[in-house]
Amino acid sequence: MPALTREEALTRAHLLDVRQYAIDLDLTRGEDVFGSTTTIRFTTREAGDTFVEVRPHTLHRAVLDGHDLDTAALADGRLPLTGLTAGDHELRVEADMAYSRTGEGMHRFTDPADGRTYLYTMCFQTEAPRVFAAFDQPDLKAPFTVTVTAPEEWTVLGNGTARRTGDRPGRWECATTPPLSTYFVAVAAGPWHSVRTRHAGIPFGLHVRQSLAPHLDADAAELLDITRACFDRYHRIFDEPYPFDSYDQAFVPEFNAGAMENPGLVTFRDEYIHRSAVTGTQRQTRAVTIAHEMAHMWFGDLVTLRWWDDIWLNESFAEYMGYQVVADATPFTGAWTEFAIGRKAWGYDADQRPSTHPVAPEPEAVPDTDTALLNFDGISYAKGASALRQLVHWLGEKAFLAGVNDHFARHRFGNATLADFVDSLTRASGRDVHAWAGRWLRTTGVDTLTPGVTADEDARRWHLEIAHRGNRPHRVTVGPYDLAGDGSGALTPRAPLEVDLAADEDRHPLTADGPRPDLVLLNDRDLTYAKVRLDERSRRTVRHHLSALPDPLTRATAWNALRDMVRDGELPPAAYLDTARDHLPRETDNAVVSGVLGFARGELADRYLAPGRRTAALETLARTARALLANATTGEQDDEGGTRLTAVRTLVDSTTDPTELRTWWETATLPGGQPLDHELRWRLLHRLTALGAAGPDDIDAALDADPSATGTEGAARCRAALPDPEAKEAAWRDVFDEADTLSAYRLTATLQGFWHPEQRDLLRDYVPRYFAQAPALAARRGEAVAQALVRHGFPWPFTDTATLAAGERCLAAPDLTAALRRGLTDALDDLARALRVREAH
């Protein structure tokens, strides 16, 4: 199906006013297809031609104003509508649609735990025509009435409250919605287990497949508390009440995204219903996702972007509000620490690759939907949220929220642009927000702030000169810290300094009273988006006293400075590992522990260090994990956030002695007394298989003990990890075989298990095969599989010039899909960066 171009969308929006959709779905036609009948009532402003999108398995009939259309005219998912006269029209399209196994369109899943089947839609961006005929662009909003025929024992959920009609078994009707964009239409059907309540006069519901029922029941109180707290907070800060008739949250299987903001029926990946022990940081991440999707009910659903160049209006806003509302209204008051140490790196990394783009590109830079889809990345989410956080710091929260409410009032149930939003902020604040937006949202790259610190000889004053490389204005907090004079190593903060850096100011001098601080930390509290450096004395202080910083967000900022210095070749990876070894055992915030260990294990040990230094790095990480466990066990460290579990996971992933791992497996006993639950059993078995200390019989026994969907994926991951030529070839065939029988989740699990640095000799011949076969697979199976092929399938253990050259030859091919081309561009740039870090140290 060709991508919809911006020009085509503009032309169609000028021609059409869509007044109503009636969609009738029949989910009783077997395992392969479902019935879809769509009636669209629309008005043309003048005579002209257009098209409707529909991607059927079989197109049975299309009727325009009572006249049959030639169904053979359907081509590439577009059915022409020619010779339209000005005035009212009705189009009826009858089709069978194919179920999806890749999480797009109408996804069908049969639970291996009990054989029950569940369906749900994912209509995001361009996938609605897999479910119903549509004028599929965001600015052609209309009310939707959806009716569904399903097996009698099923429950149906939709954007509007769904009720059985009573006219025949299995028949449901969803209440007609307010005007929505086509990509928000949602249906979920199956024998759901549901927990329902009401709040503020609105029905709330939580829904999972039956095999997860006990886990939802255990989590329901927390999930509903978070939902109510976020709902109430939004009603305090937004003038517009919640704009839909119900609020259902369905946790669905094999979901590609974290969640999707369908009005009235938010869908989440069901990994958010925890089967095993999780950390407080993971629970916080779930809360942020709930708040993020709820923010979309206003920013995205009530007011929708006009074209896909403005996805930041949806995602950056929801990302910012998700963290802020969770910090303000829930027990997770430290949410911004996790954003700083975990989420923000996603934006920094994306913004330094060749594929970077502005948070808000010019409309011409997003010429079609294929291009737009690539921009749902760390820039549109993490960088955009960081920009909004800096904007709020500059404007003040009161002026910012006044502008937001003005925006909602002016564009209620309509569409808007960046200019519309900035106009509202300018009216509310009296500031030149357009100039700010030009610098922050229309430019690319990360600014760098470097301190130069000196002091007078009499130690009565100290001087700071901030070198500013970049082109954005910043309001920055500078944190001065002094070491305690008693030799305890404690760091005491002085009063912070607020500094305004002009956009074109490359150096900013500042003088303050008192002796020179032992540590000068730029961007303390992490209120702007910029890489920061440390002067030499501050670097020494951080190296020896980082864990003594009194606030976890400050510690996260310091860790980020070290991370960026490693990535830019200014700090040896070994120095970062040594700092982690010395300070993480005393860290009390699990988000910081998890973020630092994740970077050290996933990037430093496996990529930035040469293969000959990897074992020593893993041993350092294992010692660090053991020290964390010792402190958590003796009570010297607050473990409410789950640091013990984070340490155990790192220990499993980093231990190189298969005998020790095998002992944990056979005794079902982990260090620190952590129970060996489902998640840890599969994690441990994966490590054992990769090291050759477990085999097919172990995998079969584990699957017998856990025959769930997660267990099935775990078994696929472990089988692919076996260091056996036949097992590797079988896994490769499963992924690349043209029968394409694997779901996107099973394919991802197989790829996750395939590549291991310990197996380089066994895997070497698969590197050229990857670059030869990935393009065809991505072309056959679409966006979700293309992303998995790069994110999990790229031959990352081979960080060498030969792999880089092979990847560049593949990238030069003219027929790569847009998703694969973007993913390979990023992966090869990351590989080249790793090689530069190795060369520097």
Q: What is the pLDDT of residues 586-601, one digit of tens each?
A: 999 999 999 999 999 9
Across the range 742-769, mean pLDDT stands at 97
**pLDDT attached to residue 573:** 97
Alpha carbon distances (Å) from 570 to 14, 450, 463, 467, 567 = 54, 13, 24, 17, 8
Mean of pLDDT values over 665-681 = 92
Q: In three state form, how does the secondary structure of 413-426 look?
A: CCEECHHHHHHHHH
One-letter amino acid for residue 398 of the chain = K
All domains of the chain in start order, with CATH:
6-276 (2.60.40.1730)
pLDDT, position 731: 97
Which bin fits 76, alpha (ψ -120 to 50), beta or left (φ > 0)? left
**Model pTM?**
0.97
pLDDT at residue 2 in the model: 86
* Distance in angstroms (rounded) separating the CA atoms of residues 504 and 468: 9
Q: Are 792 and 752 in contact (CB under 8 A)?
A: yes
Strand partners, 451: 466
Across 46-75, average pLDDT? 98
pLDDT in tens, 456-494: 989 899 999 999 999 999 999 999 999 998 888 899 999
Rounded CA separation 702/699 (Å): 5
pLDDT of residue 634: 64
For the chain, helix, strand, coil in percent to 5 are 50, 20, 30
The pLDDT score that the predictor gives to residue 839 is 96
CA 532 from centroid of its chain's CA atoms: 25
Which pair of tokens denotes residue 147?
A: 């009716």
Q: What pLDDT is recorded for position 636?
A: 60
If one counts every other C-beta atom within 10 angstroms of the C-beta of residue 396, the result is: 13
Query: At residue 260, does pLDDT exceed 70?
Result: yes
676, 664 in Cβ contact below 8 A?
A: yes
Starting at the earlier edge strand, list the strands of the sheet with 162-164: 67-68, 58-64, 87-98, 33-44, 16-26, 144-149, 171-174, 162-164
Sign of CA dihedral 578, 580, 583, 584: negative
Question: Average pLDDT for residues 354-359, to the nearest whole number?
Answer: 96
Residue ranges of alpha helices (H) inside 309-363 are: 311-329, 335-338, 344-351
Report the amino acid identity of residue 578.
D
CA–CA dist 532, 530 (Å, integer): 6
Confidence of residue 672 (pLDDT cuts 50, 70, 90): confident
How many CA atoms lie within 13 Å of 269's alpha carbon, on the beta-carbon side? 13
Cα separation, 752 vs 499, in Å, equals 45
Structure tokens at 206: 């939580």
Average pLDDT over residues 538-551: 97
Contacts of 492 (CB under 8 A, 6+ apart): 481, 482, 483, 484, 550
User: How many Å is the Cα radius of gyration of the chain?
Assistant: 27
| Active site amino acids | 293
Pairing verdict, β 531-532 and 144-149:
unpaired
Structural tokens at position 498 = 């607020």
pLDDT tens-digit profile of 414-450? Answer: 999 999 999 999 999 999 999 999 999 999 999 999 9
Q: Is the pLDDT of residue 323 over 70?
A: yes
Mark 218-253 as b/e (b = at least 16 C-beta within 10 Å).
ebbeebbebbebbbebbeebbebebbbbbbbbbbbb
Indicate the angle between helix axes 280-296 and 590-599, nearest 10 degrees. 90
Inter-CA distances, 154 with 151, 169, 371, 596, Å = 6, 10, 38, 45
Residue 304 has a pLDDT of 98
Task: Work out the percent of the chain whose per-residue pLDDT is above 90.
Answer: 95
C-alpha angle 86/92/97, rounded to 5°? 135
Report whether 543 contacts 549 (CB < 8 A): no
Going by pLDDT thresholds of 50, 70 and 90, the confidence category of residue 72 is very high
For residues 183 and 260, the answer to whether their CB atoms sit within 8 Å is: no
CA distances (Å), 171 to each of 23, 131, 153, 190, 398, in order?
13, 18, 11, 13, 48
pLDDT at 674: 86
Whether 246 shows a pLDDT value over 80: the answer reads yes
pLDDT of residue 804: 98
Alpha-helical (H) ranges within 40-113 are none
E strands, 430-484, where?
Answer: 448-455, 461-469, 474-483
pLDDT-derived band of residue 741, with 50, 70 and 90 as boundaries?
confident
Mean pLDDT rounded to a whole number for the chain: 96
pLDDT at 673: 85
pLDDT for residue 450: 98
Q: CB of 373 within 8 A of CB of 820?
A: no
Mean pLDDT of 279-293: 97
pLDDT of residue 635: 60
Report which of 801, 812, 802, 807 is spatially closest to residue 828, judged by C-alpha positions: 807
What residues contact residue 47 under an 8 Å CB cut-off, 6+ apart? 83, 84, 85, 86
Of 500, 496, 517, 520, the closest CA to residue 509 belongs to 500
Please list, in sequence order, all residues whose beta carbon lies within 8 angstroms of the beta carbon of residue 751, skipping any fewer than 6 positions away.
720, 735, 788, 789, 792, 793
Q: Is the separation of the CB atoms in 104 and 130 below 8 Å? A: yes
Burial of 502 from C-beta contacts in 10 A (0-12 / 13-18 / 19+):
exposed
pLDDT value of position 638? 58
Query: Where does the pLDDT of residue 738 fall: very low under 50, low under 70, confident under 90, or very high at 90 and above?
Result: confident
Kindly give the pairing relationship between strand 304-305 and strand 448-455.
Answer: unpaired
Partners of 507 in the beta sheet?
Answer: 467
In this predicted structure, the answer to whether residue 326 has a pLDDT above a threshold of 80 is yes
Tokens found for residue 276 = 């095993």
199 vs 182: CA distance, rounded Å: 28
Where is 719: in which H helix or E strand?
A: helix 709-721
Distance CA 809, CA 825 (A): 11
Q: Encoding tokens for residue 292?
A: 């993020």
What average pLDDT score do residues 508-522 get?
A: 96
Backbone φ and ψ for 105, nearest 5 degrees, come out as 75, -130
